[in-house]
A and B are shown apart, each in its own frame.
Chain A
Amino acid sequence: MAKKQIEKKIVAFCCENSALKAAEALSDPATLDAVELVRLPCTGKAETGLLLACLERGHPGVLVLGCPADNCKFLVGSTRANKRVQSTRRLLKEAGLSEERVRMDFVSSVDGHRLARIVREMRERLNAIEGAKV
């Protein structure tokens, strides 16, 4: 019996102090249809294992959306997250996967349109990779 495969969305790990607020303030929530938002106290909590677990579960890509530098409530959280995301990208590359599947970006709580652009661009990049249809 061929049950229709539910297409998985991009997972966006959002800092509850910035990116999540930006997402909530978007006037057209349909902009974020392609992503599943995951709330974190700080992107500093987004560890490599969590990012990889999402890819393992079949999600096409993972975004980590934290605060701009010098704007992190926990001072260095988003900077540390960025380091970790970059090392995750290296891991993916070494494993023969596309490093574009994981990406860090910085969004302030008033940057809704920037968030929408990041999601759109992520979709485009993932669509360009064979096998990922978002």
Chain B
Amino acid sequence: MSKTADSIGVVLACGGRFSSKERESIAARLGSALLIEEAFGSPAQVAALAARITKRRFRRVLLAGIAPAGQAELLQTLARQAHLPAAAVGGVDLGPALASRTRAPGALRAIQRGLAALAEIPPVERRSLALEPGVLVVGAGPAGREAAAALRGLGHPVTLVEKTDGSAGPSGGPQAVGLQGAELLTGSMVRRVEGQVGRFAVTVRTPSGDRQVTCGAVVLAAGIPGFHPGIPAASSAAIAGGAADTAAAPFGVAGVVPLEQLEQAVAGLPRRRGVRPVAVILDWRLEETKGSTQAALELALRLQKEGALQVHLLCREVRVAAMELEELYDRARQAGVDIIKFEGRPALRSTGKAVAVDFRDAILGQQVSLECELAGVSSYGVRGDADPELARLFGVSLDALGQFQLNNIHLFPGETNRPGVFAAGACRGQFYLPLIESEARATALAVHQLLAPGVLELELAQPVVDEDKCALCLTCVRSCPHGAMYVDRAKGAAACAPEACRRCGICAAECPAKAITLPAWSDRAVLSQVS
């Protein structure tokens, strides 16, 4: 047969359903490409077939006679075991041919259609990319220091870039914790980022001039402005994340104050006998985080312990999913803090002397009105606060809350949309110190997992750009979710970095000039699936 059949192996997976004469006629037409398998399905049979494919050096394989149900799984397994790209293993259903009168010629036609579809898929080359040792950590706050120390412990050279001069700061300053030999650049900022996972070239502006840092991976731990997890909850404004978004709370009502001013307001109450009720209202703008819950519980506990107050803590849910928080919650309960769960959002109105908090109690299922002398409303509202300039420099997407990790199930904690760029701490939405630290260590492990092998095995199946058609409109650069598309200045056209590309084909579909093709999924290959 043609050259096509020589490089593509054909497996007749339902050989038993053809007579030996029919089989011979098919074999005669397919020549040396045919491997006949009687039955097919058990893991051992798949492994044996994969070994035969490897031995015969087939670059593409067609399984003829595979029932469509469960096909994808089987094809993927076989491709993996035969060390072939997933797209290089195809299947074709011979059911209709077997049911028809012609049988063998019909089956042969079906096989040839399958071969034609596979022939559209060019063979894929593989390459090993040596990974640059070294990790750049941006931000020397709790997350950055923890990640840097863990990475040093795992044997990676680390450069830590800190915007402030690092001398003090609310959380003790970068030098407060041993960095185990990580290089610390204080008063420095990232100015420019080039390259991809395994080989980032980052320009850092330091007080003594620009520095080039080459690294295999990056950890963004830049925090968010105004947030300092190291300080106690005395100023919950900080926990609230800088510019507190309090527009919706009715602070015009007498006795209603932002939570961070509640202690001050309590001190200013005129003295009188008896226990005075005070409300702490959470979950007003956004759901509280563990960090802001901690601050609120500590505040409630402090006020309750003064003795002259009865604290009612109102929330939609208590977020205590950490050992220390559970204990804090218990202590608050034991001290007498009354914790109430409401539905929806409470209404606050002035009754002249007091504030009435009207809400629907989630447990009683009833409308309840609570009179308090003061009501402190949480102004927690962290939004859009991760450094957008850093996101732009590193090509990292922000989520709906303006933080670094997209809300996507396929991203493991700490990963960003950009391969090789990780995030830790407040800039990815963790505001609770113990968890910031443990997540930073986990991120360090993820970096270690990436860099430890020293090389990245690549399948060069990334999109190909037709330089003559590319008009440099940058649509692909903007639309690539992984930041794999870039402008190749030497060629004067867009190009794709195989180490970052995930072969989704978005660039190929978006390109207005149709200059980009994803090799395994050209228009012809896709349309060949349609009758």
Contacts A21-B72, A40-B526, A72-B408; is A47 near B479 (CB within 8 Å)?
Answer: no
Contact A24 B70 (CB under 8 A): yes
Residue A54 CB within 8 A of the other chain: yes
- Closest chain B residue to A73 by CB distance? B410
A7 to B406, CA, bound (A): 44
User: What are the residues of chain B within 8 A of A44 when measuring CB–CB?
Assistant: 504-506, 509
Contacts A45-B504, A45-B506, A84-B509; is A11 near B521 (CB within 8 Å)?
Answer: no
Task: Kindly identify which residue among A8, A36, A50 contacts B526, using a CB–CB cutoff of 8 Å.
Answer: A50
A91 to B466, CA, bound (A): 27
Residue A102 CB within 8 A of the other chain: no
For chain B residues 243-263, which have a beta carbon within 8 Å of chain A? none
* Interface residues contributed by chain B, number (CB under 8 Å): 36
Among A49, A50, A70, residue most surrounded by chain B Cβ atoms (within 10 Å): A70
Contact A74 B506 (CB under 8 A): yes
Among A38, A41, A57, A73, residue most surrounded by chain B Cβ atoms (within 10 Å): A41
A75 to B520, CA, bound (A): 21
CB distance from B526 to the nearest CB of A (A): 6
CB distance from A12 to the nearest CB of B (A): 10
CB distance from B36 to the nearest CB of A (A): 26
Residue B481 CB within 8 A of the other chain: yes
Contact A80 B505 (CB under 8 A): no
Contacts A70-B407, A75-B406, A75-B417; is A45 near B530 (CB within 8 Å)?
Answer: no
Residue B409 CB within 8 A of the other chain: yes
User: What are the residues of chain A within 8 A of B417 when measuring CB–CB?
Assistant: 75
Contacts from B to A (Cβ < 8 Å): 68-73, 87, 397, 406-411, 417, 479, 481-482, 502-506, 508-510, 514, 518, 520-521, 523, 526-527, 529-531
Contact A74 B530 (CB under 8 A): no
Could you list some 10 contacts between A and B, CB below 8 A? A26-B69, A39-B529, A45-B506, A45-B509, A54-B527, A73-B504, A74-B504, A75-B417, A75-B481, A76-B506
Residue A86 CB within 8 A of the other chain: no
Residue A122 CB within 8 A of the other chain: no
Count of inter-chain pairs, beta carbons less than 8 A: 102
Task: Kindly identify which residue among A16, A21, A24, A49 contacts B523, using a CB–CB cutoff of 8 Å.
Answer: A49
Residue A46 CB within 8 A of the other chain: yes
A72 to B408, CA, bound (A): 7
Contact B408 A45 (CB under 8 A): no
A98 to B444, CA, bound (A): 54
Contact B68 A24 (CB under 8 A): yes
User: What are the residues of chain B within 8 A of A61 when measuring CB–CB?
Assistant: none
User: What are the residues of chain A within 8 A of B521 when measuring CB–CB?
Assistant: 40-41, 45
- Closest chain A residue to B406 by CB distance? A75
Contacts A45-B504, A70-B407; is A36 near B530 (CB within 8 Å)?
Answer: yes
CB distance from B453 to the nearest CB of A (A): 23
User: What are the residues of chain A within 8 A of B502 when measuring CB–CB?
Assistant: 73-74
Contacts A57-B530, A59-B530; is A24 near B504 (CB within 8 Å)?
Answer: no
CB distance from B334 to the nearest CB of A (A): 40
Contacts A73-B504, A75-B397; is A45 near B518 (CB within 8 Å)?
Answer: yes
